[in-house]
Amino acid sequence: MAPADWNPRFVQGRTVKAYEFLQNQRRRYVLVQKWGEFMKDLDLFIGSPTADIAPNAQTGHPCAVVPYKFDVPQPFGGGRGATAPAQPAPELKPQPIGGVITGNLYNDDLILSVAHQFQKNTDIHLKRPSI
């Protein structure tokens, strides 16, 4: 299939204009600096299962995701103002919940050692949810 046969939306999405690329690199550089300032006094931290790891992916800060328990998900938004339907909810099965260990640049060894100690002292990584 020739490139001209593609939907223009997909073809245009493959190319980036030079000034847009430079602007994105400048934004990334500022993000790396700000994230470095935030992490300067921390070796690492453990975030919640809902922690956003996008800053890590964009700045290169290492992170490890470790499962720490199985929990039954809350139906319909967990009762945060969501309305329940008229029919009863199906039985929900426990799902694995994880924590995010995030560290400073070039501290991969520290993060992996903490994750290893967590795995060594728990058996959660051996459990599987019932299907």
Binning pLDDT at 50, 70 and 90, where does residue 22 land? very high
Which whole number is the average pLDDT over 109-114?
90
- Closest C-alpha to 119, from 71, 63, 67, 70: 67
Quote the pLDDT of residue 113.
Answer: 92
What pLDDT does 57 receive?
A: 73
pLDDT bin (cut points 50, 70, 90) of residue 96 is low
Are 107 and 44 contacting, i.e. CB atoms less than 8 angstroms apart? Answer: yes
According to the per-residue pLDDT averaged within each range, which of 7-16, 49-58, 103-112 is highest?
Answer: 103-112
- Distance, in Å, from the CA atom of 35 to the CA atom of 59, rounded to the nearest integer, reads 8
User: What does the pLDDT average to over 27-32?
Assistant: 90
Q: For the chain, which residues make up each domain, given as ranges? A: 3-126
Q: CA 27, CA 58: separation in Å to the nearest integer?
A: 10
Handedness of CA 76, 78, 82, 86 (dihedral sign): positive
E strand or H helix that includes residue 117: helix 108-121
* Residue 84 · residue 76 · CB < 8 Å: yes
Poorest-confidence range of 2-6, 82-86, 121-125? 82-86
Residue 44 phi/psi, 5-degree rounding, is -165, 170
Residue 44 pLDDT more than 90?
no
